[in-house]
Amino acid sequence: MIELRNVTKYFGRRVAVDDLTLGVPKGQIFGLLGHNGAGKSTAIGMMLGQVWPTRGEVVICGHDVTRRRQDALLRVGAIFETPVFYDYLSGWRNLEILSHYTAPTSPERIREVIDWVGLTGRERSKVRTYSHGMRARLALAQALLPQPELLILDEPGDGLDPEGIHEMRQTIRRLHLELGLTILLSSHLLSEVEQLCTRIAVLNQGRKVFEGLLAEAKQAQDWVRLRVDDFGRAVKALRSEKLVVDERDGQLVALAPGVGTDQVVRRLVEQGTAVYEVAREEQTLEDFYLELMRKDAVVETLKR
Amino acid sequence: MFYLQLRNELWKLFGKKRTYIGFLMFLLAQNVIALVFRFSSASGGMVRTLEGNGYLAQEYVSGLTIATVMLFPIAYILLPLYVSLVGGDLVAKEAEDGTLRMILSRPVSRFRLLLLKWVAGAIFSFALVMTLGLFGLGFASIWFPWKGLFVLIPGEVFSVFDVWSGLKHYAAAHWMMAPKAVSVMTLAFMFSCFNVKPAAATILALSFVFVNFIMMNIPYFRDLQHWFLTYHLNVWQFMFAQPVPWWKIGESLSILAGFNLTFLAIGVTAFQVRDIKS
């Protein structure tokens, strides 16, 4: 549904997106992760033909966005971080205005979408009277009106309270299950991405530093929690035997491929180390993300 | 489809309170001017000029004449202000508010969007000029009799008309004032297409008009005044001349059409190449 091929975007001399290649297959909830300013919104802007790439190719639903923007966006809906509308007009009027930029939309279709997002009864009120949550629902309604196949969500949880975030999460799941939409979710809220996405890409300073299944990210390394009397001495011994490849936080070790915890315990006992606890540690997305950022920072420092 | 989208643009434009500032200020200014003429000796100069030229002043100090007198300051100062306020808002305000990003996530071309907005702005400009004419005549007629029209533009026009002929010239002057309003609106619209704040687009357009006007009136530039936008913007006042210099009006309208096309081409190009970001 989405293909970015070697896309680069410069704003003046600053590179916002650097040689980004990305693919979002049909039917997935794809997470685009990165800190503020990592290039997520610029990448989304290029997908929607709002930002022109300096180099590279952006293909949406089989059409090149820079050359055939209208065809590319015909079945695409988008929601941005802060839902903005014509506050002095009613929710209904806003939906009419926005949907007519795609195609003439019948009142029945508008009614149907209003019902789906749960705004029935408030559609004739001016948008200035809407709460943040209602605006988020209206944003969803305008995105759903053209019966999209692809939904692009740029920081949809921003500014929502915990209830609102929960509701948004449930809605995204419904959109995926009930309407079968392909969803691109850009966020810096790792927990949201972790709960919703099947595949992710991580951006840092405009560059992609990871793309793959969420499950792969969470098992990128086999970490084991190790509580012993002398962690430093234990790690030294295990490294000399090539049983571990990494350590962190004074209690975690990454086992070498094919190494089991039984081998680790045996070696430690043999050298006389007191072992109190050995447990497999499933890496959270947060751990993975932070590790990725740390490694990338080291690589950048070395390059300089 | 185009009609639906244009209707939407008009909803957006006429749904905003600030769109009506111009109408409100015209109403206020015209009432004040009409009252000043009615309850002071402001019309004394007009009476002396008419009588000095052998006309019966009481036949021409009328609602039509006062409506035309009040037309000049409003058309020179207030009209450019309000049309540029709206023209400057059309794109820049949507970009500032973030609604432009919502629109441009839709499969609508940037050119089409600008065309829709420009047509909406032109409709507003036309409506504002027609309202100016109707309000002026309405308020002046409350305080002055329904008689002939006298128009004096020093060095350019000295005309007297009977009531119906005067009314025709008054209406024709407003038709010719609409291209002026549209041109100033298009100028502000052009600036609005750049990455600027709405107020900046309005100020830039007004500055352009005022600088043109000032330069045109500097004696050194007298011979070059045909090159200034403001010279052609004021073509409407020649509708009060006897006979009407149609060739001059035709020439100015053609040049204004050229200015408008240039402003639009610059605006469309700037908007086409720019990045729309939050």
pLDDT in tens, A93-121: 999 999 998 888 889 999 999 998 888 98
Is there a contact between B79 and B184 (Cβ–Cβ < 8 Å)?
Answer: yes
Nearest to A45 among B8, B113, B277 (CB): B277
Contact A42/B at CB under 8 A: yes
Is there a contact between A63 and A3 (Cβ–Cβ < 8 Å)?
Answer: no
Better pLDDT: A294 or B267: B267
DSSP state, A126? B
What pLDDT does residue B227 have? 87
The domain of A99 spans 2-217
Residue B183 exposure: Cα atoms within 13 Å on the Cβ side: 26
Q: CA–CA separation, A37 vs A120, rounded Å?
A: 37
Contact B106/A at CB under 8 A: yes
Domain assignment present for residue A107? The answer is: yes
Are the Cβ atoms of B276 and A51 closer than 8 angstroms?
yes
Mean pLDDT of chain B: 90
Nearest alpha-carbon partner for B95 in B274, B263, B277: B277
pTM for the model = 0.86
Q: Cα distance from A173 to chain B (closest Cα, Å)?
A: 22
- Which residue does chain B place closest to A97, by CA atoms? B8
Contacts of B17 in chain A (CB under 8 A): 88
Domain assignment present for residue A271? The answer is: yes
Tell me which of A217, A248, A267 is where a domain ends. Answer: A217
Nearest to A78 among B16, B17, B105 (CB): B105
Q: Where are the alpha helices (DSSP H) in A48-87?
A: 69-72
Domain assignment present for residue A295? The answer is: no
Per-residue pLDDT band for B143 (boundaries 50, 70, 90) equals confident
Q: Where are the domains of chain B?
A: 2-273
Residues 6+ positions from A102 with CB-CB distance below 8 Å: A74, A145, A146, B106, B107, B108
Angle B142-B146-B147 from CA coordinates, rounded to 5°: 145
Are the Cβ atoms of A78 and B17 closer than 8 angstroms?
no
Nearest to A100 among B5, B102, B105 (CB): B5
| Tens digit of each residue's pLDDT (9 = 90 or more) over B224-240 | 888 889 999 988 999 99
Place of tokens 């008054």: B170
Q: CA–CA separation, B214 vs A148, rounded Å?
A: 55
Contact B18/A at CB under 8 A: no
Contact A52/B at CB under 8 A: yes
Is there a contact between A145 and A102 (Cβ–Cβ < 8 Å)?
Answer: yes
Contact B109/A at CB under 8 A: yes
Are the Cβ atoms of B102 and A88 closer than 8 angstroms?
no
Domain assignment present for residue A299? The answer is: no
Place of tokens 């997305």: A285
Contact A76/B at CB under 8 A: yes
Contacts of B20 in chain A (CB under 8 A): none
Better pLDDT: B202 or A204: B202
Nearest alpha-carbon partner for B84 in B259, B230, B203, B214: B203
pLDDT at A215 over 90: no
Per-residue pLDDT band for A304 (boundaries 50, 70, 90) equals low
How would you classify the pairing of strands A223-228 and A207-213?
A: unpaired
pLDDT at A57 over 80: yes
Domain assignment present for residue A164? The answer is: yes
Complex prediction ipTM? 0.84
Are the Cβ atoms of B277 and A100 closer than 8 angstroms?
no
Shared-domain flag, residues A233 and A141: no
Cα dihedral across residues A122, A104, B91, A183: positive or negative: positive
What pLDDT does residue B192 have? 96
Domain assignment present for residue A84? The answer is: yes
Mutate to test the interface with B, among A86, A93, A147, A158 (most CBs of B within 10 A): A86
Residues 6+ positions from B140 with CB-CB distance below 8 Å: B30, B34, B37, B63, B64, B66, B67, B70
What pLDDT does residue B177 have? 93
Contacts of B5 in chain A (CB under 8 A): 100-101
Q: In what order do the strands lie in the sheet with A252-255?
A: A244-248, A252-255, A223-228, A275-281
How many domains are contained in chain A? Answer: 2
Q: CA–CA separation, B79 vs B120, rounded Å?
A: 17
Is there a contact between B77 and B180 (Cβ–Cβ < 8 Å)?
Answer: no
Q: Cα distance from B16 to chain A (closest Cα, Å)?
A: 7
Report the CATH number at residue A237. Answer: 3.30.70
Shared-domain flag, residues A170 and A37: yes
Q: Cα distance from A41 to chain B (closest Cα, Å)?
A: 8
pLDDT at B18 over 90: no
pLDDT at B184 over 90: yes
Shared-domain flag, residues A160 and A274: no
Average pLDDT for A198-213? 88
DSSP state, A81? S
How would you classify the pairing of strands A223-228 and A275-281?
A: antiparallel
Is there a contact between B131 and B23 (Cβ–Cβ < 8 Å)?
Answer: yes
Q: CA–CA separation, B117 vs B198, rounded Å?
A: 14
Residue type for B278, please? Answer: S
Average pLDDT for A59-74? 92
Domain assignment present for residue A19? The answer is: yes
Are the Cβ atoms of B105 and A89 closer than 8 angstroms?
no
| Tens digit of each residue's pLDDT (9 = 90 or more) over A256-278 | 888 888 888 998 888 888 889 88
Q: CA–CA separation, A215 vs A168, rounded Å?
A: 23
Least confident range of A67-71, A239-243, B51-55: B51-55
Average pLDDT for B48-54? 82
Nearest alpha-carbon partner for A181 in A149, A133, A204: A149
Q: Which residues are A17's β-sheet partners?
A: A9
Shared-domain flag, residues A69 and A200: yes
Contacts of B12 in chain A (CB under 8 A): 86, 89, 97
Are the Cβ atoms of A49 and B104 closer than 8 angstroms?
yes
Nearest to B104 among A50, A74, A84 (CB): A50
pLDDT at A58 over 90: yes
If DSSP codes are grouped into helix, strand and coil, which group holds residue B177?
helix
Shared-domain flag, residues A138 and A55: yes
Domain assignment present for residue A26? The answer is: yes
Q: Cα distance from A95 to chain B (closest Cα, Å)?
A: 11
Q: Count the helix, strand and coil residues of chain B and give each as a percent rounded to the nearest 5.
A: 80, 5, 15
Shared-domain flag, residues A29 and A46: yes
| Tens digit of each residue's pLDDT (9 = 90 or more) over A119-175 | 898 989 999 999 888 898 899 999 999 889 999 998 887 777 788 888 888 888 988
Alpha-carbon dihedral A104, A107, A112, A117, rounded to 10 degrees: 80
What pLDDT does residue A221 have? 62
Nearest to A74 among B4, B98, B107 (CB): B107
Shared-domain flag, residues A55 and A155: yes
Return phi, psi of residue B108, to 5°: -115, 135
- Which residue does chain B place closest to A79, by CA atoms? B102
Nearest alpha-carbon partner for A208 in A197, A220, A200, A216: A200
Are the Cβ atoms of A50 and B105 closer than 8 angstroms?
yes
Average pLDDT for B234-251? 90
Residues 6+ positions from B9 with CB-CB distance below 8 Å: B116, B117, B119, B120
Nearest alpha-carbon partner for A214 in A282, A295, A296: A282
Contact A150/B at CB under 8 A: no
Are the Cβ atoms of A101 and B275 closer than 8 angstroms?
no
Q: Where are the alpha helices (DSSP H) in chain A?
A: 40-47, 69-72, 91-99, 107-117, 132-144, 162-178, 190-196, 214-218, 231-240, 261-270, 285-303
Shared-domain flag, residues A160 and A248: no
Shared-domain flag, residues A167 and A262: no
Are the Cβ atoms of B15 and A72 closer than 8 angstroms?
no
Shared-domain flag, residues A211 and A225: no
Contact B3/A at CB under 8 A: no
E strands, A12-88, in order: 14-24, 29-33, 55-60, 63-64, 76-79
pLDDT at B31 over 90: no
Report the CATH number at residue A48. Answer: 3.40.50.300
Contacts of A70 in chain B (CB under 8 A): 107-109
Are the Cβ atoms of A80 and B102 closer than 8 angstroms?
yes
Q: CA–CA separation, B112 vs B14, rounded Å?
A: 20
Q: CA–CA separation, B84 vs B72, rounded Å?
A: 18
Are the Cβ atoms of A51 and B273 closer than 8 angstroms?
no
